[in-house]
Amino acid sequence: MEQENALHALEQGSVLFFPQLSFSLDKDESRFLSPTIAAKSKNVSLDCSRGILKGSSTDEAEQQLLQSMMQRFATSTVALLHNLLPHYTAGLVQGRTSFRPVEIAQRAASWRKDDTRLHVDSFPSSPVQGKRILRVFSNVNLQGKSRSWRLGEPFENIARRYLPVLPRPVWGSSQLLKLTGITKSRRSAYDHFMLQLHDRMKADMDYQSQVDQVAFDFPAGSSWMTFTDQASHAAMAGQHAFEQTFYLPVACMQNQSLSPLRVLERLANRTLV
Ligand code: SIN
Ligand code: FE
């Protein structure tokens, strides 16, 4: 029953919140809770399948420890999803693991990269061809500082609001982006529209202030997960979190019609992948 409710809530675009589910750091790992651990951007990322760590400023010995901490988080999220969402197990593909030791409120960013603005996730260099983006977060702040989010309107409202004014993809551009290495795989029409939605939302300051929204603080020591391609979210403040990305083919959902892909296809009246 708990599993069914969780699946249902997620597919509706809700955030599942686990107030008691904390990821514990080992004693000698707390030294990684410092913004200087991230070389330049906002996070350190780990590609678990290839064992490649990127974006850290530590020396080699430290890197081993940092990597094993992140690997432990990654493994724990796989177990969590396996137990909570057995329906997805066969289709889930594990993506990057991310460690975020930089205070959000002090992160300088261009408007497009500014995650303090409401958005749905879509990334220029990582097309997903309709696959869902499911992300698990843990706040590991040791000073008791919450991670503060805002949550916006349902995906269908966003799509209805912006789709009519979005430019169509340019013929041949997806091949060009792939050939020139700008994208890692082909940018489908779906990816094109999702990127446009992401950008339009962030660029629209009237929308940011006027759309229905709620603020939610995820306390230190808690975890949460959501489909970030669907749930409109903004991260306003907080420091020291982990995030694990998973990809899920829409065919593995219980109710595909709720996916951004199917919503956009219905509204645009065409296939997008
Ligand atoms: C985001 O996905 O917009 C950032 C979430 C976070 O780091 O809390
Ligand atoms: Fe995001």
Instruction: Quick: pLDDT tens for 69-122.
Output: 999 999 999 999 999 999 999 999 999 999 999 999 988 789 999 999 999 999
- Whether the CA torsion 16, 22, 28, 30 is positive or negative: it is positive
Closest C-alpha residue for ligand 1 atom 3: 115
User: 109 CA to middle of ligand 2, Å?
Assistant: 13
What pLDDT is attached to residue 186? Answer: 84
What pLDDT is attached to residue 173? Answer: 80
Contact 77, 244 (CB under 8 A): yes
Encode burial over 176-210: b for 16+ CB neighbours within 10 A, e otherwise: ebeeeeebeeebbbbbbbbbbbbbbbbebeebbee
Q: Domain limits of the chain?
A: 2-268
What pLDDT is attached to residue 201? Answer: 98
What pLDDT is attached to residue 185? Answer: 82
Closest C-alpha residue for ligand 1 atom 4: 235
Give CATH for domain 2-268: 2.60.120
What pLDDT is attached to residue 107? Answer: 81
User: Is residue 171 over pLDDT 80?
Assistant: no
What pLDDT is attached to residue 150? Answer: 98
Q: Mean of the per-residue pLDDT values for the chain?
A: 95
User: 227 CA to middle of ligand 2, Å?
Assistant: 10
pTM for this entry: 0.96
What pLDDT is attached to residue 189? Answer: 95
User: Is residue 41 over pLDDT 80?
Assistant: no
Ligand 1 binding pocket, CB closer than 6 Å: 100, 115, 121, 147, 228, 233, 235, 241
Structure tokens at 238: 């907080």
What pLDDT is attached to residue 109? Answer: 82
Q: Which atom of ligand 1 is nearest to the CA of 233?
A: 3
Q: Which atom of ligand 1 is nearest to the CA of 228?
A: 2
User: 43 CA to middle of ligand 1, Å?
Assistant: 11
User: 60 CA to middle of ligand 2, Å?
Assistant: 30
Q: Which atom of ligand 1 is nearest to the CA of 149?
A: 8
